[in-house]
Amino acid sequence: MNHYKIALLDGDGIGPEIMKEAVKVLNLVAERNKVSFELIHAPFGAGAYFECGHPFPEQTQKICDEADAILKGPIGLNHEDSKKIPVDMQPERGALLPLRRRYNTYANFRPVYLPKALAHFSPLKAEIIGDGIDIMIIRELVGGLYFGHKETGVTAEGVRFVKEVLEYDEIQIRRIAIVAFETAMKRKKVLHNIHKSNVLKSSVLWNTVMEEVGQDYPEVRIEHILVDAAATYLCLNPGRFDVMVMENMFGDILSDQGGGILGSLGLMPSACVGDNKAYYEPSHGSAPDIAGKNIANPYSMIGSVAMMLEMSFGMDQEAKNVWHAMQSVFADGYSTADLSKPGSGVTMINTPAFGDRVVDALRKLPVPA
Ligand code: IPM
Ligand code: MN
């Protein structure tokens, strides 16, 4: 029997609510399979700052260090409340980026998936969605503008200025390129490389290294697309994409657009993978406006569990079962408020009801051999 320690970082806002539903799924997975999970909750985010004086407290770092995998909820406060925390202690800068840096989770997988039968969730017309949306966005997660040198100051003339450096070296680009090509090999063998090499020198090196790595993957067709054009095509013809790879900031923006074309950021789970550690998180924020109401969509959190089962524990079939269970809740005509548009014929259910339905559906699926 395999035993895994999982650090659970509930986070802020809707974090604890959607984490509860993920835990229901983890418990059932343990009950059904020859596996046991030790689930260890640890403070992380703005709540942790107010409780412990740091958004990524030492005790949490230790729990994460010792964990086999980390499941993290969204973090952050609304714009006004954020100001109550010193800039460098705000959870994005003080907890999330340090978490990414600590475990060097350079490969961020953000699936953008909507089967044809759920086309009504999307703001796009059914004819644009065609056979459904199925894209894997691969975002470089520990480089670029997010982690480059930063400076603010005032010039001799008294003008305030700011400088943030977009830096990549070829080692950073090569390792994410390999991840992207390997992913393309497992899928349709087409890779869209997203760049801005008509302006940014960082993209020129990025593209060069992509081409070099591509030599080792002659079966994969690589297509280079400017990031602004890619944003347009995501709306006009998402079906042209399968695997997309891009630097950190482009990936932040285009993956939210991915959530947009699905109809809700609540449909965006993710995996953040390094060579020695991975953590899993919804791609979206903590939605303080709806926190505490139990109306958030836990799909992104449960989907992150599915990605953990596959990528950290090698439980591929059970991961598929979790996806299938979630899709079946939608197929039965239920969803949370974000996807229950008036007149859509969808029955609105709350967060725990969605989790319960996923659990019921999973229970009915055959236990993997
Ligand atoms: C994401 C989030 C983070 C990011 C924020 C919370 C710092 O938007 O994971 O996409 O920009 O990377
Ligand atoms: Mn983002």
pLDDT digits (tens, 9 = 90+) for 112-162: 999 999 999 999 999 999 999 999 999 999 999 999 999 999 999 999 999
Q: What is the pLDDT of residue 333?
A: 97
**CA 282 / ligand 1 centre spacing (Å):** 10
332-352 average pLDDT score: 94
Active site residue 256: yes
Catalytic one of 4, 113, 146, 299: 146
Mutate to test the pocket of ligand 1, among 106, 252, 254 (most ligand atoms within 8 A of CB): 252
**Shortest-distance Cα residue to atom 9 of ligand 1:** 283
**Shortest-distance Cα residue to atom 5 of ligand 1:** 92
Please check whether the two domains, 1-105+274-369 and 119-131+142-264, share a CATH topology: yes
92 lines ligand 1 (CB under 6 A): yes
Residue 64's alpha-carbon distances to 6, 40, 259, 366, in angstroms, are 8, 9, 28, 32
Q: What is the pLDDT of residue 51?
A: 97
- Judged against a pLDDT cut of 90, whether residue 262 lies above it is answered with yes
134 lines ligand 1 (CB under 6 A): no
Q: Any idea where the domains of the chain sit in the sequence?
A: 1-105+274-369, 119-131+142-264
Query: 342: pLDDT confidence band, cut at 50, 70 and 90?
Result: confident
CA distance 66 to 38: 11
- Report which ligand 1 atom has the smallest distance to the Cα of 270: 9
**CA 259 / ligand 2 centre spacing (Å):** 10
**Shortest-distance Cα residue to atom 1 of ligand 1:** 283
DSSP annotation of 368 reads P
Nearest to 349 by CA among 298, 300, 301, 285: 298
Percent of the chain exceeding pLDDT 90 equals 99
**What pairing do the DSSP bridges indicate for beta strands 69-72 and 243-246?**
unpaired
246-273 average pLDDT score: 98
291-308 average pLDDT score: 98
Q: Which has more pLDDT, 110 or 341?
A: 110
Query: 344: pLDDT confidence band, cut at 50, 70 and 90?
Result: confident
Q: What is the pLDDT of residue 266?
A: 98
Q: What is the pLDDT of residue 310?
A: 98
137 lines ligand 1 (CB under 6 A): no
2-20 average pLDDT score: 98
Q: Which ligand is nearest to the CA of 285?
A: 1
- pTM (2 decimals)? 0.98
Nearest to 223 by CA among 265, 195, 255: 195
12 lines ligand 1 (CB under 6 A): no
Complete DSSP assignment for 285-325: ---GGGTTSS-S-THHHHHHHHHHHHHTT--HHHHHHHHHH
CA distance 216 to 55: 42
Backbone φ and ψ of 331, nearest 5°: -60, -30
- Judged against a pLDDT cut of 90, whether residue 328 lies above it is answered with yes
pLDDT digits (tens, 9 = 90+) for 37-72: 999 999 999 999 999 999 999 999 999 999 999 999
252 lines ligand 1 (CB under 6 A): yes
Mean of the per-residue pLDDT values for the chain?
98
257-274 average pLDDT score: 98
- Report which ligand 1 atom has the smallest distance to the Cα of 256: 10
- Report which ligand 1 atom has the smallest distance to the Cα of 75: 6
Query: 341: pLDDT confidence band, cut at 50, 70 and 90?
Result: confident
Q: Which ligand is nearest to the CA of 141?
A: 1
Active site residue 228: yes
Nearest to 137 by CA among 214, 227, 215: 227
Region at 112 (left for phi over 0; alpha for psi -120 to 50; beta for the rest): beta
CA distance 11 to 42: 9
Q: What is the pLDDT of residue 217?
A: 99
Active site residue 275: no
pLDDT digits (tens, 9 = 90+) for 180-238: 999 999 999 999 999 999 999 999 999 999 999 999 999 999 999 999 999 999 999 99
CATH number 3.40.50.1980 is the correct assignment for the domain at 1-105+274-369: no
CATH number 3.40.718.10 is the correct assignment for the domain at 119-131+142-264: yes
**Shortest-distance Cα residue to atom 4 of ligand 1:** 252
